[in-house]
Amino acid sequence: MIDLLALSPDELSRTLAAQGLPAFRARQLRAWIFERGALDFDRMTDLPAALRARLATQATLGTLRAVTEQQSADGTIKRLYRLHDGHLVEAVLMPYDDGRRTACISSQAGCAMGCVFCATGQMGLARNLSTAEILEQAWRFHAELIARGERLSNVVLMGMGEPFHNYDGAIGAVRRIIDDLGIGQRHITVSTVGLVPGIRRFALEGLQVKLAISLHASTDPRRGALLPVNRKWGVEPLIEACRDYQEQTGRRVSFEWALIRGENDSPEEAHRLGRLLRGLRCHVNLIPLNPTAGYPGAPTGPADAQGFAAVLEQHGVPATVRVRRGIDIDAGCGQLRDRVLALQEEEEATDRA
Ligand code: SAH
Ligand code: SF4
């Protein structure tokens, strides 16, 4: 079986030509897959029936199998996919009242970074996803939305995994999401735990994609205790890479800060963060911790969270507190959802500016 979703336009043309098919068939197929969002060959009614039958036995559109799906009252869909070799990954679709439809997709099955408060980090890494497996998560939502007369407008790589630990897979998928799904670059976000070589490489891609950095602490001892990767690339080289990224791309950086009660939410910590980020064009998203089974920390309360944001504002660092909303399907989704909302608000602010 050959996965047509995994083929570039050239590869698809060559594959069909090798079967004795004319070049326009490749264009027709791609239009069905990406523009019209056909999830199977049966729908491709202007292809000869014999060709459709042959494709159905020799080719597939993607390799993911949905195993469960939960839908919340507000329309958020959280889906669990099984990969061809049995590993599981999550993808989430979030609808917003203003018409935006945001997919949050995974770049790895599990994650090797071991951040202590993260449910994915607690499971360890199973493997990298291929570009096609990452693309497919977004493509399925894209196709389903087309069928409902809607369109996928935003994609965030904030699901399972560290995108820069699977750099080629993730950036390959970003390029195909732009080219094949037609999603605007500014409506795509890549979030990283702070792999400095990845940030430096990303700065040279010439992409207008948003970059989010999971910071969570501003001193090496504290950040190292939460995010083991900090022992390799500490706070200083990380912020330096962000400053260089900004200089090279002219783009603003987002910082994610999970507020953990008594751990990283004091006014002194806020002042230190404010000083650290001074002069960097950025935005800080403050998200009260979403408790997970493997970590004893608790979320910061609303008043302290607002106080933290106010201190950052004193330093001229824009910050938004996202209060986790009650999502009836899974707390993890709430976390994801709020993070994405924060990014969208920023996007609106940037668009207005
Ligand atoms: N690996 C990438 C992208 C996926 S994680 C990264 O770490 O940036 C998406 C975001 O969720 C990150 O900012 C991560 O730090 C945060 N996160 C993970 N677990 C969390 C939790 N329990 N509560 C709040 N934020 C969490
Ligand atoms: Fe979780 Fe991201 Fe850390 Fe991986 S890098 S463990 S996904 S927070």
The rounded Å distance from CA 336 to ligand 2 centre is 12
Q: Is the CB of 335 under 6 A from ligand 1?
A: yes
Q: Is 182 left (phi over 0), alpha (psi -120 to 50) or beta?
A: left
Ligand 1 mutation pick, 107, 214, 337, max ligand atoms within 8 A of CB: 214
The pLDDT score that the predictor gives to residue 326 is 33
More confident residue, 347 or 165: 165
Q: Would the pLDDT of 350 be above 70? A: no
Residues 6 or more apart whose Cβ sits within 8 Å of residue 157:
105, 106, 107, 134, 163, 170, 173, 174, 188, 189, 190, 191
Ligand 1 atom nearest residue 290's Cα: 23
The pLDDT score that the predictor gives to residue 333 is 40
- Going by alpha carbons, the residue nearest to atom 19 of ligand 1 is 118
Give the other-Cβ count within 10 Å of 280's Cβ: 15
* pLDDT > 90 fraction of the chain, expressed in percent and rounded: 80
Q: Is the CB of 162 under 6 A from ligand 2?
A: yes
* Spatial distance between the Cα atoms of 42 and 21, rounded to a whole number of angstroms: 18
* Spatial distance between the Cα atoms of 122 and 134, rounded to a whole number of angstroms: 21
Burial track 24-52 (b if 16+ CB lie within 10 A, e otherwise): ebbebbbebbbeebbbebeebeebeeebe
Residues 6 or more apart whose Cβ sits within 8 Å of residue 268:
none
The pLDDT score that the predictor gives to residue 344 is 63
Catalytic-role residue among 263, 333, 346, 347: 333
Residue 96: pLDDT band by 50, 70, 90 thresholds?
A: confident
More confident residue, 273 or 122: 273
Ligand 1 atom nearest residue 192's Cα: 8
The pLDDT score that the predictor gives to residue 339 is 56
Least confident of 43-57, 207-221, 300-314, 338-352: 338-352
**Average pLDDT for 293-301:** 91
Ligand 1 mutation pick, 104, 155, 233, 256, max ligand atoms within 8 A of CB: 256
Residues of the chain with CATH 1.10.150.530: 2-60
Q: Would the pLDDT of 329 be above 60? A: no
| Predicted structure pTM score | 0.93
pLDDT in tens, 213-258: 999 999 999 999 999 999 999 999 999 999 999 999 999 999 999 9
pLDDT in tens, 4-23: 999 998 999 999 999 899 98
Asked whether 259 and 299 are in contact (CB, 8 A), the reply is yes
The pLDDT score that the predictor gives to residue 75 is 84
Ligand number with the minimum distance to the CA of 216:
1
**Average pLDDT for 73-94:** 89
Residue 168 exposed, middle or buried by CB count within 10 Å (0-12, 13-18, 19+): exposed
pLDDT in tens, 167-197: 999 999 999 999 999 999 999 999 999 999 9
Ligand number with the minimum distance to the CA of 290:
1
**Average pLDDT for 87-93:** 91
Asked whether 169 and 120 are in contact (CB, 8 A), the reply is no
The pLDDT score that the predictor gives to residue 197 is 98
**Average pLDDT for 336-352:** 61
Q: Would the pLDDT of 148 be above 90? A: yes
The rounded Å distance from CA 118 to ligand 2 centre is 6
* Spatial distance between the Cα atoms of 109 and 86, rounded to a whole number of angstroms: 10
- Going by alpha carbons, the residue nearest to atom 7 of ligand 2 is 161
Give the architecture (CATH level 2) of 79-347. Answer: Alpha-Beta Barrel (3.20)
The pLDDT score that the predictor gives to residue 322 is 81
Q: Is the CB of 193 under 6 A from ligand 2?
A: yes
* Spatial distance between the Cα atoms of 322 and 170, rounded to a whole number of angstroms: 27
Residue 325: pLDDT band by 50, 70, 90 thresholds?
A: very low
Q: Is the CB of 76 under 6 A from ligand 1?
A: no
* 90 labelled catalytic: yes
**Average pLDDT for 317-343:** 58
Residue 352: pLDDT band by 50, 70, 90 thresholds?
A: low
Give helix then strand counts, H and E, for the chain: 12, 14
Q: How high is the mean pLDDT of the chain?
A: 91
Give the other-Cβ count within 10 Å of 291's Cβ: 16
* Spatial distance between the Cα atoms of 323 and 305, rounded to a whole number of angstroms: 9
Q: In terms of DSSP H, where are the helices of the chain?
A: 9-18, 23-30, 49-58, 119-123, 131-147, 167-179, 196-203, 220-226, 235-249, 267-277, 302-314, 331-352
- Going by alpha carbons, the residue nearest to atom 21 of ligand 1 is 290
The values of phi and psi at residue 217, to 5°, are -160, 155
Ligand 2 atom nearest residue 108's Cα: 7
- Best mean pLDDT range from 72-76, 286-290, 326-330: 286-290
The pLDDT score that the predictor gives to residue 343 is 65
- Going by alpha carbons, the residue nearest to atom 3 of ligand 2 is 115
* Spatial distance between the Cα atoms of 124 and 85, rounded to a whole number of angstroms: 17
- Going by alpha carbons, the residue nearest to atom 1 of ligand 1 is 162
Q: Can you tell me whether residue 192 is helix, strand or coil?
A: strand
Which tokens go with 348?
């609106």
- What does each C-alpha distance from 46 to 114, 216, 237 come to in angstroms? 50, 53, 56
DSSP state string for 196-232:
HHHHHHHHTS----EEEEE---SSHHHHHHH-GGGGT
Residues of the chain with CATH 3.20.20.70: 79-347
Class of the domain covering 2-60: mainly alpha
The pLDDT score that the predictor gives to residue 123 is 84
Q: Is the CB of 292 under 6 A from ligand 1?
A: yes
Q: What number of CA atoms fall less than 13 Å from residue 50's CA on the CB side?
A: 1
Residues 6 or more apart whose Cβ sits within 8 Å of residue 156:
102, 103, 104, 105, 188, 189, 191, 339, 340, 343
Q: Is the CB of 180 under 6 A from ligand 2?
A: no
Catalytic-role residue among 90, 133, 256, 347: 90
